[in-house]
Structure 1
């Protein structure tokens, strides 16, 4: 099969997964970002209603074009590298014996997720940076906005901060993406738990098990990752709500300085601003994304790692 010589099936499956995730969940992601970074700590329902009233339904999809293109690329790298890291560990002994042969240990799934997350961070950072800055524009009319779209946003950022300004917040992005170890370990643990129902009246199909496990894994992921996501997004949006500078005079924030700032102003609860819309979005979006990813792997005959 194709996957035995050149492991591109994970890339293709990740591409489809990323597009699925954007279509299902971007509106909730906009609400989460505005709750996290708004100058006033409003709840998710208030932000949702205010956004629709002021900007219409289309306001929920501000910043959607970078992830529509970018998330497909990010998930292609994330999930493609995940599949290859899993195969590497499978072929190098990080396994356990089962009745049907060797399979990866749960720890190996976590390690694969960790390195896949780090691998995707350099690509994800500029895409997330543009998404965050576009999502924070509250004006309904395009003519009233500082950034007219992702290309204009990127052009202005490069002009004021230089080319590497597109990677503002990379350290925060790397830290946040370590939590993919939690997601993929939790997904596999849930799949194994559901497999114990095989042969009973409650036995789920493989697709249903993927949906359930993907949703559950996303809850574990965001519970651990949201504080790091808040830090990353604040690094990327700095100095919002103040105007963005026209020159590289603004200092970039460090992870520790942002964490101290959030703790001082809002306490520990500040790290979990946006949790409600995040979880409301995460379960269906990631359930569908895992369903598509795992389904395509099976359809293309990818080498099994469980």
Structure 2
């Protein structure tokens, strides 16, 4: 999964390698993220103004009710949707590396940018590729997690069919614009900070 860097003796991870690393990171994170996200979605779905009128009084009460109806494994309701959603980290990691290499290739030209600017733009722009690919699975995942506790847990495929038959293809892309608005600044700042710390630790990657 490595390749030679032109003009040097160094080697670097291929774009495919970066994508696979992102895929592995996403699938691994789903194991821990699913229960928390499940509770978050159920709490966010409550629209009652008064706390006394709400089905769940807070995250602990929500977890208690979920486990009472579905057992401990019920906290992982929507796990297949979470896996499908987080697998799209493949596009995020691959896109960031592709963009960073593109900015590195501009060195010595009138379009050369500082390393920090390249980090910021790469993180922000790569988030677009992630959400374009991930938003269908995100919508399916959210519906799976929000299903009534007294009903059978829906499967990924049955939820996908339900979205398509009731809303159509556009249902898979609901919420894409807000995701874009949030994703660019969030991911741009996160990647800027990550690469900045990597440089501070003298561990910057070889890209050119």
Contact 2:103 2:118 in 1 (8 A): yes
Q: Which runs of 5+ in 2 are unaligned?
A: none
Return the alpha-carbon distance in structure 2 between the equivalents of residues 122 and 273 of structure 1. 25
Return the alpha-carbon distance in structure 2 between the equivalents of residues 202 and 120 of structure 1. 37
Q: Which residue number in structure 1 is paired with residue 70 of structure 2?
A: 161
Q: Does 1:296 align with 2:201?
A: no
Report the secondary structure of 1:110's partner residue: helix
Q: Which residue number in structure 2 is paired with residue 212 of structure 1?
A: 121
Q: Does 1:97 align with 2:29?
A: no
Return the alpha-carbon distance in structure 2 between the equivalents of residues 202 and 141 of structure 1. 56
C-alpha spacing 1:259/1:302, structure 2 compared with 1 (3 Å): same
1:120 pairs, out of 29, 34, 49, with 29
Q: Does 1:274 align with 2:175?
A: yes
1:229-277 per-residue CA deviation (whole Å, 9 max, x = no partner) reads 11111110113xxxx43xxxx2111111011100101111110111111
Q: Does 1:140 align with 2:49?
A: yes
C-alpha spacing 1:96/1:302, structure 2 compared with 1 (3 Å): same
Q: Which residue number in structure 2 is paired with residue 80 of structure 1?
A: none
1:263 pairs, out of 144, 164, 168, with 164
Return the alpha-carbon distance in structure 2 between the equivalents of residues 283 and 135 of structure 1. 23
- Scaled by the length of structure 1, the TM-score of the pair is 0.64
Return the alpha-carbon distance in structure 2 between the equivalents of residues 141 and 304 of structure 1. 52
Q: CA RMSD in A?
A: 1.6
Q: Which residue number in structure 2 is paired with residue 3 of structure 1?
A: none
* Stretch moving more, 274-283 or 149-158: 149-158
**1:1-306 → structure 2 map (5 Å cutoff):** 94-98=1-5, 99-100=7-8, 101-239=10-148, 244-245=149-150, 250-302=151-203, 304=205, 306=207
Q: Which runs of 5+ in 1 are unaligned?
A: 1-93
Aligned length: 205
Shift of 1:156: 1.7
Shift of 1:285: 1.1
Contact 2:195 2:204 in 1 (8 A): no
1:78-107 per-residue CA deviation (whole Å, 9 max, x = no partner) reads xxxxxxxxxxxxxxxx11111341111111
Return the alpha-carbon distance in structure 2 between the equivalents of residues 298 and 144 of structure 1. 52
Q: For CA contacts below 8 A with separation 6 or more, give which structure has more relative contact order.
A: 1
1:13-52 per-residue CA deviation (whole Å, 9 max, x = no partner) reads xxxxxxxxxxxxxxxxxxxxxxxxxxxxxxxxxxxxxxxx
